[in-house]
Amino acid sequence: MSVQTGLERAASPRDIAVAPTAGKAKRRLGRTAKYVILIGFVIVVLMPVYVLIVTSLKPPSDVNPATSWGLPVRWPWEPAVDGGPTGFDNWTTAWSTLAAPIGRTFLLAIPASLISALLGSMNGFVLSRWRFPHADIVFTLILFGMFIPYQAIMTPLVQMKTSLGMPSDISTLIIVHIIFGLPICTLIFRNYYVSIPNELMEAARVDGAGMLTAYWRIVLPLSLPGFVVTIIWQFTSAWNDYLFALFLTNVQGGPVSLALVNLSQGAQLANYGAAMAGALIASVPTLLVYILLGKYFIGGLMSGSVKS
């Protein structure tokens, strides 16, 4: 009669069948915990959005900070007993106030993001492929513009605008956002162009292509990931800008951020419902940009992180 050793008992068919089951259970538990944590994060992030939506649907008489989490007592489609305003009036007021400023903000954000991205692409190509004297110092000085607080330059910026006779409208903001967007655009494109293989540039040089020809015909068509990142970044910065708009423009010719602040300030009592509706309307363009191009954002941001 044979004696079953400890090693044989450990490798018995029953133990072999139990091991995969335990592994699956452990993976299932880990996956469940991950989803619970992610759902918790989503709830926390969406809580302000919930408050915005429910407050925008409440008539002014029902808006109360103590009951901001509660649903509307009277829904917008229910007629008011006293003939007063309803939740729909908040959206009507917000749209009538913000329609023109939203159009002006598109006129600001689109050219500012496109021009700063194109100029940043040129700067990045030169700084990554042309090793002229003191190139690293020039690149460092350009990057220095990223670390200057905007608040520290507002007084001299306003003085310069006044001395040059620049108008208090969108055209001034376009120039400002192009200038202040150049450092980050240059950094992104410079890191991206460093990852382009040198063999590709050498082949273009052998074919007789100069620096500008190589940029327009070879490098620029490969720059889509960098342009996606910089355009999203610059569009969002220009659309959400308030500080430059406050100092350099006015409500009549400024972007939507100024109009949104003006919307939330009533003569005697602030119209919080209209302000919340206006905030939702003003956030739609940037939300659509991230929905349509967001999947390319991280890929483009990381495309130049590893040199080929």
Same domain (yes/no): 263, 131: yes
Same domain (yes/no): 118, 234: yes
Same domain (yes/no): 51, 98: no
- In this structure, are residues 241 and 172 in contact, taking their beta carbons and an 8 Å threshold? no
Q: How many CA atoms lie within 13 A of 260 on its CB side?
A: 19
Q: What is the pLDDT of residue 184?
A: 92
Q: What is the pLDDT of residue 269?
A: 57
How far apart, in whole angstroms, are the C-alpha atoms of residue 35 and residue 281? 31
Same domain (yes/no): 184, 261: yes
Q: What is the pLDDT of residue 205?
A: 80
Residue 77, in any domain of the structure: no
Residue 78, in any domain of the structure: no
CA torsion angle 119 243 157 190 (round to 10): -20
Same domain (yes/no): 217, 130: yes
Same domain (yes/no): 52, 142: no
Please choose, from the candidates 34, 31, 37, 72, the residue with its C-alpha nearest in 3D space to the C-alpha of residue 51.
72
22: amino acid identity, one letter: A
Kindly give the confidence (pLDDT) of every residue in the chain, 308 residues in length, as a single tens digit, with 9 standing for 90 and above: 444 454 445 455 555 555 567 677 778 888 888 999 999 999 998 998 898 898 888 887 777 777 778 888 777 776 666 655 666 788 888 898 899 999 999 999 999 999 999 999 999 988 888 877 887 888 888 888 888 888 888 999 999 999 999 998 899 999 999 999 999 999 989 888 888 887 887 787 887 777 788 888 888 888 888 898 899 999 999 999 999 999 999 888 889 999 888 877 654 556 788 888 899 999 999 989 888 877 776 666 565 554 44
Q: What is the pLDDT of residue 98?
A: 92
How far apart, in whole angstroms, are the C-alpha atoms of residue 247 and residue 125? 34
Domain that holds residue 218: 87-302
Q: How far is CA 247 from CA 73, 170, 252, 306, in A?
A: 41, 12, 13, 41
State the DSSP code for 68: T
Our CA angle for 46, 52, 54, nearest 5°, is 100
Residue 165, in any domain of the structure: yes
How far apart, in whole angstroms, are the C-alpha atoms of residue 283 and residue 256? 10
- How many distinct structural domains can be found in the chain? 2
Same domain (yes/no): 44, 181: no
3-state helix, strand, coil in the chain (%, to 5): 75, 0, 25
Q: DSSP string covering 147-195, please?
A: GS-HHHHHHHHHHHHHHHT--SSHHHHHHHHHHHHHHHHHHHHHHHHHT
Residue 243, in any domain of the structure: yes
Q: What is the pLDDT of residue 173?
A: 94
